[in-house]
Amino acid sequence: MFYTYAQLAPNTAAHIHHQFAPLLDSTTGRAALLVVCAELLQSAFRGDHPELTPKLRALADRSAVT
């Protein structure tokens, strides 16, 4: 969840990703990111941190498990 909120601070998000890349880039990690993005997008729809919406959608697109 910390990584998803950090999307508004690109340097911080890059640092977090670098530190946790093996986990975040795994199939399980990407699936977890999708779940967190979905939860936060629902919150954004209700008015919580709507500025995150475009970043969360982009992160979800990049994290899509194939």
Structural domain that includes position 26: 2-63
Give pTM, 2 decimals.
0.87
Q: Return d(Cα 51, Cα 65) in angstroms, integer.
A: 25
What is the per-residue pLDDT across 3-57, written as a single tens digit (0 to 9) for each?
A: 999 999 999 999 999 999 999 999 999 999 999 999 999 999 999 999 999 999 9
Domain count, the chain: 1
3-state secondary structure 4-58: HHHHHCHHHHHHHHHHHHHHHCCHHHHHHHHHHHHHHHHHHHCCCCHHHHHHHHH
